[in-house]
Structure 1
Amino acid sequence: MSRLEPGQTAPAWTLTDAEGHEVSLSDFAGRTLVLYVYPAAMTPGCTTQACDFRDNEAVFAREGYAVVGVSPDAPAKLARFAEKESLPFPLLSDESKEMLTAYGAYGEKMNYGKKVMGVIRSTFVIDEQGVVEVAKYNVRAKGHVASLAKQLGIDLPA
């Protein structure tokens, strides 16, 4: 499993959103994208992370960043999650895990001391030209948004 590094061109993708529409990386050309990968909608850690992005999405938007979440969940589950948590940004489904694998966000990981195959909680910042600015792997759900904002020079409200 290869991981992305800053300076690399982000692998192209087209995924289905919670409403069943196709969304592609190229749709964000000219904008900087915060793409966060999470294992499963409606689980405690993933809900914490999604709500943290939700609560700070306007600040990211004001600074010129679009936020998108990706998981292997089916679009219908993503729709329920987005509605339940009032998420203002797109959630994309990668049931095949092809995009997740291409980004190094699916593979062998440790889970309670055992090696398992699964989604690796990760975040990528992709610039206006499709180049990776930030690639973070094995991020923690709690506190990650604040850490990312600090790295990007974004001041979040206290």
Structure 2
Amino acid sequence: MSDTVSLSPGDQSPDFSVTDQEGKVHNLSDYTTQGKQVILYFYPKDSTPGCTTQACDFRDNMARFVTEGYVVLGVSKDSSASHGRFVEKQELNFPLLVDEDLSLHHAFGTWRLKKNYGREFMGCSRSTFVIDSDGALAWCRYNVKAKGHVDMLMRELSLND
């Protein structure tokens, strides 16, 4: 898939305006205007084991992210109803953005060719982007593992105590 976007640190982040599980609109420009840094993470599916592990790791470390001026936003192609159930069941303390048309996935290059047991298919590559308050990508990584990802991200951002 040569037309898949691959972003790197220093690149300008794609702008976005997307609704969350409650229908609230999240604009990147609103966050950057407020001087916030955004952690935008893409995951394949609500309520699956790996995605639950990752979401709960973000939830459990939210105080540290907020203290350091970060906003965490999760993104998948699931519906707002599915996101709502996931947030409620796992008591998530951050919004999940709805991207049913995959426009955000395509803008960030996270909808990619995947291989599983010899079968090739298009799907979400678990990926994370850290967007500085100037709208540039401070850090990004494609194909991250669910388990241990938040700890690794916190080390990369020097947020460990």
Per the shorter chain, which TM-score range? over 0.9
Report the residue type matching 1:47 in the other structure: T
Within-5 A mapping of 1:119-138: 119-138=124-143
Tell me, what secondary structure is at the counterpart of 1:138?
coil
* 1:98 to partner: Cα distance: 0.9
Tell me, what secondary structure is at the counterpart of 1:109?
strand
Q: Which runs of 4+ in 1 moved over 4 A?
A: none
* 1:135 to partner: Cα distance: 1.1
In 1, Cα distance between equivalents of 2:147 and 2:66: 21
Report the residue type matching 1:126 in the other structure: I
Cα deviations by residue, 1:85-125 (Å, 9 ceiling, x for unpaired)? 01011110100101111101112122233221001100000
Tell me, what secondary structure is at the counterpart of 1:54?
helix
Please, which runs of 5 or more residues in structure 2 have no aligned partner?
none
In 1, Cα distance between equivalents of 2:92 and 2:139: 23
In 2, Cα distance between equivalents of 1:49 and 1:111: 20
Partner residue, 1:68: 73
Q: What is the identity percentage for the equivalent residue pairs of Structure 1 and Structure 2?
A: 50
Question: Is residue 2:13 matched to residue 1:10?
Answer: yes
In 1, Cα distance between equivalents of 2:147 and 2:118: 21
In 1, Cα distance between equivalents of 2:65 and 2:117: 33
Instruction: Say what the alpha-carbon RMSD is for the aligned residues.
Output: 1.0
Partner residue, 1:42: 47
TM-score in terms of structure 2 length: 0.94
Partner residue, 1:86: 91
Partner residue, 2:149: 144
In 2, Cα distance between equivalents of 1:138 and 1:24: 25
Matched length: 156
In 2, Cα distance between equivalents of 1:112 and 1:147: 27
Partner residue, 1:21: 24
TM-score in terms of structure 1 length: 0.95
In 2, Cα distance between equivalents of 1:77 and 1:31: 27
Greater Cα shift, 94-103 or 109-118? 109-118
